[in-house]
Amino acid sequence: MERDVKRDILEKIRAYDRIVLSRHALPDGDAVGATKGLQGIIRATFPNKQVLVVNEDYAAAMAFLGPEDAQPDEAFYRDALVIVLDVGSENRISNRCYALGRELVVIDHHIETQPYGDLAWVEPDRSSTCEMIVSFYAAFADELRLDREAATCLYTGMVTDSGRFRFDSVSGETLRLAALLLDRGVDTETLFSHLYLCDSKTLKFHAYALRRMKITQHGVAHLFISRRIRQALHLTCEQAYTAVYYLNSLRGSIVWIAFIENDDGSIRVRLRSRFITINELAEKYGGGGHARASGATVTGRKQMHALLRDADRLIAAYKETHTGWQ
């Protein structure tokens, strides 16, 4: 069945001379890596096709993977295939023109809540959408081409969305596909310097986050970054969102949450966990994502505190009925 949908997608790609690739807003390494990686595969295999990566925002942290393309005029879409990657909810697509295409293909690894698109390949058990693209290439390796640049984009998404291959979504297949990319010459030392080295401002923010972190009664580690603090620390919203990663090393805390106040007063919520599933909690507040990595946006502090109380109750119930957590 999986090979059938991959074959269907390949035939769609063959059939169109114009292809637009888009991803979700506020992109991460997987979203950028999947779109840029698939673009590289298609361009290398079908050099006469026009293949554009088109979005309305970009992550400065991923700029080392290269630029995206300018929005073409609407006429370009009339005979174009649009492929949306790493977007669990249609309203998060970072391209206002995506629906103008003749056909819409969806490739994603988020839990499906509201299916969309003319053809969808969704695998929530995959560690990343980039892993899916590598498996797509591997299924048709005798028909497709993968160069070092595209491999680097795809490896970026696999590394970042799997927590450097630590999360429980990582399988033997994940590592076999990662090895395929390494065999294409990915420079891991340079890549990891782009991804994980930081400047003094970021390091100071890390220290601030650890100082200001709070813990609920049952062990939810959480942090709130207000607009005022962001401005004082000279942080963009994108940079502040990384705070969630600083909270993941506390023994006994199996859920951790970063609340980041946006410029419009809404609060972006980033939830992470181990052992326990949290995507349903995110969905309750209009968000979603993966079983142990989800997000949402709440309207203000009252709703933020309600979500925090729900998270604390979730942990309490889990700890009462499970052992072995740390």
- How far is it, in rounded angstroms, from Cα 45 to Cα 90? 29
Return the pLDDT at 80: 98
Chain-centre distance for alpha carbon 97: 21
Q: Which residues contact 251 (CB under 8 A, 6 or more apart)?
A: 326
Which uninterrupted H or E stretch holds 103?
strand 103-108
Return the pLDDT at 2: 66
- How far is it, in rounded angstroms, from Cα 233 to Cα 228? 9
Measuring CA to CA, which residue among 110, 222, 249, 109 is closest to residue 166? 249
- How far is it, in rounded angstroms, from Cα 317 to Cα 71? 49
How many residues are given for the chain? 326
- At 153, is the secondary structure helix, strand, or coil? helix
Return the pLDDT at 322: 84
What DSSP state is assigned to residue 86? S
Tokens 């977007």 belong to 87
Q: Which CATH number describes the domain made up of 2-195?
A: 3.90.1640.10
Instruction: Provide the CB-side half-sphere exposure for 27 (13 A, CA).
Output: 33
What DSSP state is assigned to residue 93? B
Q: Which CATH number describes the domain made up of 200-321?
A: 3.10.310.30
- How far is it, in rounded angstroms, from Cα 88 to Cα 325? 29
Other CB atoms closer than 10 Å to residue 228's CB: what's the count?
9
Q: DSSP string of 249-292?
A: T-TT--EEEEEEE-TTS-EEEEEEESSS--HHHHHHTT-EE-SS
- How far is it, in rounded angstroms, from Cα 285 to Cα 282? 5
Return the pLDDT at 326: 63
CA dihedral 240, 62, 90, 109 (to 10 degrees): -100
Return the pLDDT at 98: 97
Q: Which two tokens stand for residue 315?
A: 């942990």
Q: Which residues contact 197 (CB under 8 A, 6 or more apart)?
A: none
Task: Give the pLDDT means over successive 10-residue stretches in the chain (326 positions).
Answer: 86 98 94 98 98 94 95 96 95 95 97 89 96 98 98 98 91 98 97 91 87 93 93 84 84 91 92 91 90 90 96 93 75
Say if residues 21 and 35 touch (Cβ distance below 8 Å). Answer: yes
Return the pLDDT at 296: 92
What DSSP state is assigned to residue 72? P
What pTM was estimated for this model as a whole? Answer: 0.85
Q: Which two tokens stand for residue 193?
A: 């310097």
Which part of the chain has CATH 3.10.310.30? 200-321
Which part of the chain has CATH 3.90.1640.10? 2-195
**Sign, CA torsion 263/55/25/155:** negative
Helices (H), the chain: 2-15, 29-45, 129-139, 148-161, 172-182, 188-196, 200-212, 227-232, 237-240, 279-284, 301-321
Return the pLDDT at 167: 87
Strands 293-298, 267-273: parallel, antiparallel or unpaired by DSSP?
A: antiparallel
